[in-house]
Chains A and B, each alone.
Chain A
Amino acid sequence: MSWTDALLIYGLTLIGCIAGGVSIGASMGFVGMMGVTLASGMMLWPTFGDVVWNTTTNFNLVSIPLFVLMGELILQSGISSRFYSGIAGFFRHIPGGLAQTNIFGCAVFSAIAGSSVATALTVGTVATREMRSHGYADTLTLGTLTAGGCLGILIPPSIPLIVYGSMTQESIIDLFMAGVVPGLVLAGLFSVYVMVRVLLQPSLVPKKPTDKVDYMLAAKNSFPIILLIGAVIGGMYTGVVTPTEASGFGSLLALLLALLYRELTPAGFWRALRNTVLTSAVIMFVTINAQILNFAIVSTGIGHGLAAWLAGLQISPLLFFCVLLFIYLIIGMFIDGLSIMLLTVPLLYPSLATLGFNGVWVGIILVVFIELGALTPPMGLNLFAIQSIVPDRTLGDVAIASLPYCAIIIAFSFLLYAFPQIALWLPAVMK
């Protein structure tokens, strides 16, 4: 079977399964197993066992449940509602109000978390309920969270950048530095979009209260969260904890804060723990099966076929960039970000280097492409993350709310293409 036939069969089966209501994880696992079996019978089946074991014991993924737990503890203890009522005062004059805090919160939280799912889940856990109670429309809230989550892998630390660095031998320190400015610019773009959207469609946000804000009280109420995030970032940058350990450390601090404020009931604590294990199981089920599909794509030669085809294209760098963007957009619809990195970098990096693209810049642009993939259905991990905390909304609702941000990310990738210095400036001045 040629790689194009294989690609066609996989694609159609996957779409059929997903549209027919098979869960997304099971669809990917099933298609992956089918592909491997068609290509080589049962010979490679034992690898499914290796995939499961190597995924669930991966120390970087271990941070997911603990970051969720941290968010749940903040939520169940009422510290988050304090924070939102506090921070609302500061944001009341900015169009979008609390919706801006989601983006701001994700940007800050990105400095702790290395994955976009952890970022979206932690901030989302806290934010969805608070935003609803303040009267914000879900259509606005959900998008700010899925998009804000993307910042998690652009602003360091970033697991995909570590993976990219280890595969290409680009400096991980340079990659981390290169992610900072693009992360902030992208956060800024998201924020501007929210402002414009709210000015055009004021019904999305509650009417501004007319009474004066007590800024002292507001500061006091937002203090615990700022303390928590400050302590975790501090712990990481002073070498007390590694990026993964920051999740466990943060959960402990969140628990201490919750006990300090005496608002965490035993029932609330139990609910936090139960939501944590169930949410992580949902995410892991998808992740395991995405890895199985990824294995099928590698072992049946689709990956190599596509890469060879790309390398053979005789087109200008800009056109090549557009083709690349398109391919990642499509791949991103079906595979999760980390798998995309693992799958495509070994295949595409050589041809990108030949075309004269800077290796650090490529790392950043790939992360941006991956972010795009995290927001596009059917396989969009950020969509899943947010939907797993608002099960009363459909995946479609979450996807539609995220659509405008996809456009922003695409536009931003062209900005990065035109001005590579957005990424490359900071690592250069840090030398």
Chain B
Amino acid sequence: DAEWKLYTYFGAKDKPTLLHRAFAEDVTKATGGRLKITVYAASELPYKASDVLRITAGNQVQMGDVALGFVAGDVPELNALSMPFSCTSIDKFYDKAVPAISPVVSQVLLTKFKVDPIMHWAMPPQQLWLAKPVAGIEGLRNLKVRSWNREQAEMMRLVGGSGVTITPAEVIPALQRGVVDGAFTAAVPALDWKFNEVTKYGYMMNLTLAHQVLAVNKAALDALPADVRDILIAKTKEWAPRYRSEMIEADLVARKTLAERGMTLHDATPAEEAKLRELTKPISDEWTAKVGDVGKQMLSASIKACN
């Protein structure tokens, strides 16, 4: 009988962790305990978000919740969905983008890391949370915004502001004291981290989805008895729609709750969105120039699928 560790870099009480736990329990039950998956959340094991792919490859854990945006240092060519506005709809992500790009992702992860992405899922779109309301894109000029990757920092530069790197633990104090004027994150973590206490305004621009895969160490997967492996794979097919609906629901609830707690949430108008797309185009141009054919193919497939 197999005992697996599933590591997620989300916190113990975060929505994705709760989903992973429910999924793990269901698999354990469905296999009659022959595959027991234990979920470890951030800080329960000493790994960072950017370590997840490598520790799964090294069989330090058998299963990892891999954010392709956070492992872009290992597989830059899979980071297509971190390009601004490449795919902003969760529905289109599941219905069209995943079928189109999952073969590429599997191929890269299997050959380079011997890791099998058995399920794709998405965190709802990244939004911009600001201490003060702004009047459109022009209002972002001269603002300092905490950004956790190059693309977000570059976007802030292109709109005339500045991206600032701040360690996760200091984001809340930094927002409270005005070290930065705002920060990027999705609505669900914004609610989890109580952004309503330190920011007033949500600029809902749907910058990017966070493309996640549940990845399994190939050797560990192959070592399972065939029937147990089949149950696991069948369970991922059953659970992908649940991740989808629960994350969409969580995103709606988070937006609603943040608004009830006094925040103003402004949906980017079509004109604003068009302007932002145009402004941020150099980011994906620069990226495609660097990552080669696999990346190019993945980006164009996602854009075609999602727009």
A–B contact (CB under 8 angstroms) = yes
Which A residues are closer than 8 A to B by beta carbons? 43-44, 46-47, 50-51, 54-55, 59-60, 157, 159, 162-163, 165-169, 171-173, 176, 236-244, 291, 294-295, 298-299, 342, 345-346, 349
If A46-B58, A50-B47 touch, whether A346 touches B12 (CB-CB below 8 Å) is: yes
Chain B residue nearest in CB terms to A48: B46
CA A425 to CA B174, docked complex, whole Å: 24
Question: Which residue in chain A gives the minimum CB-CB distance to B189?
Answer: A169
Q: Are B169 and A346 in contact (CB under 8 A)?
A: no
B149 adjacent to chain A (CB < 8 Å): no
Known: A166-B168, A171-B194, A242-B166. A298 touches B44 (CB 8 A): yes
5 contacts between A and B (CB under 8 A): A54-B46, A167-B42, A169-B194, A244-B167, A294-B46
C-alpha gap A16/B178 in the complex (Å): 50
Residues facing A in B1-20 (CB within 8 A) are 11-14
Q: Check: B43 CB closer than 8 A to any chain A CB.
A: yes
**B42-61 near A? 1/0 per residue, CB < 8 Å:** 11111110010001001110
Contact with A along B190-218 (1 / 0, CB 8 A): 00111001100000000000000000000
**Judging by beta carbons under 8 Å apart, are B169 and A166 in contact?**
yes
Size bracket of the B interface: 35 or more
Name the residue of chain A whose CB is nearest to the CB of B194. A171
Residues B173 and A172 in contact, CB atoms below 8 Å apart: yes
Chain B residues in contact with chain A, CB under 8 A?
11-14, 40-48, 51, 55, 58-60, 166-170, 172-174, 176-179, 192-194, 197-198
Among B45, B55, B167, contact of A59 (Cβ-Cβ < 8 Å): B167
Tell whether A173 pairs with B172 under 8 Å between CB atoms, given A51-B46, A163-B43, A167-B43: yes
**What CA separation (Å) do A345 and B12 show in the bound complex?**
10
What's the minimum C-beta distance from A52 to chain B, rounded to whole angstroms? 10
Residues of B within 8 A of A244 (CB): 167, 170
B13 touches A50 (CB 8 A): no
Top 6 closest A-B pairs, CB basis?
Answer: A239-B178, A59-B167, A239-B177, A242-B170, A172-B172, A346-B12
Docked-complex contact A173 and B168, CB < 8 angstroms: no
- The answer to whether A43 touches B59 (Cβ under 8 A) is yes
Q: How far is the CA of A162 from the CA of B168 in the complex (A)?
A: 10
| Closest CB in chain B relative to A152 CB, distance in Å | 15
User: In whole angstroms, what is the CA distance A55 to B47 when docked?
Assistant: 10
Given A54-B48, A162-B173, A349-B12, 17 additional A-B pairs, CB 8 A: A43-B60, A47-B60, A51-B46, A163-B169, A166-B11, A167-B11, A167-B43, A169-B192, A172-B173, A238-B178, A239-B177, A241-B179, A244-B170, A295-B45, A298-B44, A345-B43, A346-B41
In whole angstroms, what is the CA distance A189 to B169 when docked? 31
Which chain B positions have C-beta within 8 A of A240?
A: 179
The CA-CA distance from A308 to B43 in the complex, in Å, is 19
Question: Is B13 in contact with A242, judged by CB distance below 8 angstroms?
Answer: no
Residues of chain B contacted by A167 (CB below 8 angstroms): 11-13, 42-43
Tell me whether A171 and B177 are in contact (CB under 8 A): no
By the criterion CB–CB under 8 Å, are A346 and B44 in contact?
Answer: yes
Q: Note all chain B residues with C-beta closer than 8 A to A55.
A: 46
B13 partner residues in chain A, CB cutoff 8 A: 167-169
User: What is the CA–CA distance of A291 and B48 in the complex, to the nearest angstrom?
Assistant: 14
| Residues of A close to B192: CB separation below 8 A | 169
Which of chain A's residues have a CB closer than 8 A to the CB of B168?
Answer: 166
Alpha-carbon distance A241/B169, docked complex (angstroms): 14
- CA separation between A51 and B46, bound complex, in Å? 6
B43 — nearest CB in chain A belongs to which residue? Answer: A342
Q: Are B43 and A346 in contact (CB under 8 A)?
A: yes
Q: Of B42, B46, B48, B176, which one neighbours A47 at CB under 8 angstroms?
A: B46
The distance in angstroms between the C-alpha atoms of A239 and B181, with both chains bound, is 10
CB distance from B43 to the nearest CB of A (A): 5
How far apart are A349's CB and chain B's nearest CB, in angstroms?
A: 8
- The answer to whether A236 and B170 touch across the interface, beta carbons within 8 angstroms, is no
Closest B residue to A156 by beta carbon equals B173
For B58, the chain A residues whose CB sits under 8 A away are 46
Which B residue's beta carbon lies closest to that of A62? B167
Q: Is the CB of B179 within 8 A of A239?
A: yes
| Distance, CA A298 to CA B197, complexed state (A) | 33
Residue of B nearest to A294 (CB): B46
- Asked whether A162 and B169 contact (CB < 8 A) given A167-B12, A238-B177, A291-B46, the answer is yes
Query: What B residues does A236 contact at CB under 8 A?
Result: 177
